[in-house]
Amino acid sequence: MMKLALLGFGVVGKGVYDEVQKRSDMEVSKVLVRRHIEEIAPIATADIAEIVNDPAIDIVAEVMGGLHPAYEYICAALNAGKHVVTANKAVISAYYGELTELARKNGVALRCTAAVGGGIPWLVNLERCCRLDTVTEVGGIMNGTTNYIMDAMHAAPVAFDEILKKAQELGYAEADPSADIDGDDIRRKLTISANIAFGAQLSEEEIPMFGIRTVTDGDIAAFQSRGYVCKLIATAKRTEQGVAAWLEPTLVDAHALEAAVPQNYNLISFQSEYLGRQSYFGQGAGRYPTASNVVQDCLDIAEGKRAFYTDAAQLMTPDNSGVMHAYYVRTDKADAWLEAITAETLGDGVITKPVRVAQMLPWAKANLEMGNPLFIAAIR
């Protein structure tokens, strides 16, 4: 019987515990927690050393979240010769090269399927595709919180702050929703996906992004008047220069597949030379959907899986200079550059001529940092 140790007993940790309790081929023998929880009191510990030094523990499942001390605990487990399964996108994105190399060095498995897409089996299918095919593009709707907000704003006129508050009440958004609405959460998922798809090692900080914090119901009404739906979409592409990667609000046709993604669901896709486009739809978060992929990773390891999703990790810097499209831009302080590229007006904003992503996103970021009211959306 395979023995697991859980690091954390929050939403996902409790879900993993419940799923394992149903099985006869594995058991949770230790749980690292900081407070007393009666349900797991006999197997609880506050000392990571009790886990990494226990020769009976085969897999350490890290579900505590955050960068620290999760990073240090994962390193300790790998160095102790234990397989690691994690749902922690922040750690995998930030320490991608180091952790994958540490796993290889120690001859143990490192799996993180639940880190991208929650309950969607995205990374394992991306891995399978990369075995035989060349992936040319990955991305999509990769965050349930932002999709819930955008979906609600399209369903009925509602202010952003009002629907964000509702999302928090429902548990879809954190008390501090910045990682979701500003794009950090999505950027981490895109970084991991692009690294696996393209055999790359990207730094998440080098991927430009623009979130939905500044969208208004007036923007949404203008988009709908033209038959558009706005979604926050992440994209990474294989290019002649290497890899292009970015994320931004994007206007898609109301009949497009992305436009139909409801509530807090995700739609993640890859494009490859032979298979074409394949898309994976499902719940991108939640206790049992996410826990399911954690347990699936544990079962893969129990069946002998040792490899990461790819062996390649070439250092690359995203180059978006070759990607161009038109944008919707709403701002009270149009400058000479924006005026020079304006093609027409739409609602309170303008539609630009095709512009390089490498120009628009840094321009938009600079304006936000100067306190200029601004919203942009790419037009697909």
pLDDT in tens, 127-145: 999 999 999 999 999 999 9
pLDDT of residue 174: 87
Query: Cα–Cα distance between 286 and 264 in angstroms, integer?
Result: 10
pLDDT above 90 as % of the chain:
97
In this model, does residue 241 exceed pLDDT 90? no
Residue 73 backbone phi and psi in degrees, to 5:
-70, -40
Q: What is the pLDDT of residue 247?
A: 98
| pLDDT tens-place string over residues 347-379 | 999 999 999 999 999 999 999 999 999 999 999
- Rounded to whole angstroms, the Cα distance separating 262 from 151 reads 6
Whether 62 shows a pLDDT value over 90: the answer reads yes
With cut-offs at 50, 70 and 90, classify the pLDDT of residue 286: confident
Instruction: Give pLDDT, residue 155.
Output: 97
* The pLDDT of residue 165: 95
Most confident of 170-174, 275-279, 282-286: 275-279
**Residue 171 binned pLDDT confidence (cut-offs 50, 70, 90):** confident
pLDDT at position 172 over 90: no
Mean pLDDT, all residues of the chain: 97
Residue scoring higher pLDDT (349 or 285) = 349
Active site residues: 189
CA 339 vs. chain centroid, Å, equals 35
Q: Which of 22, 33, 20, 27 is nearest to 4 (CA)?
A: 27
Query: What is residue 285's predicted lDDT score, i.e. its pLDDT?
Result: 85
> For residues 201 and 92, what is the distance between their CA atoms, to the nearest angstrom?
11
> Mean pLDDT throughout 214-229?
98
pLDDT at 199 over 90: yes
Q: Which pLDDT score is estimated for 317?
A: 97
Distance between CA atoms of residues 134 and 132, nearest Å? 7
Count of beta carbons in the 10 Å neighbourhood of residue 349? 22
**What pLDDT digit, counting tens, does each position of 72-111 carry?**
999 999 999 999 999 999 999 999 999 999 999 999 999 9
122-282+317-379 CATH, one of 3.90.550.10, 3.50.50.60, 1.10.8.590, 3.30.360.10: 3.30.360.10
Do 2-111 and 122-282+317-379 come out as alike in CATH topology? no
The reply to whether CATH 3.50.50.60 applies to domain 2-111 is: no
Q: For residue range 242-278, list pLDDT tens digits in order.
A: 999 999 999 999 999 999 999 999 999 999 999 999 9
pLDDT at residue number 170 = 85
Structure tokens at 69: 């001390």
Q: Which residues, listed in sequence order, are joined to residue 342 by a DSSP beta bridge?
A: 352
- Mean pLDDT lowest among 62-71, 101-110, 171-180: 171-180
Boundaries of every domain in the chain: 2-111, 122-282+317-379
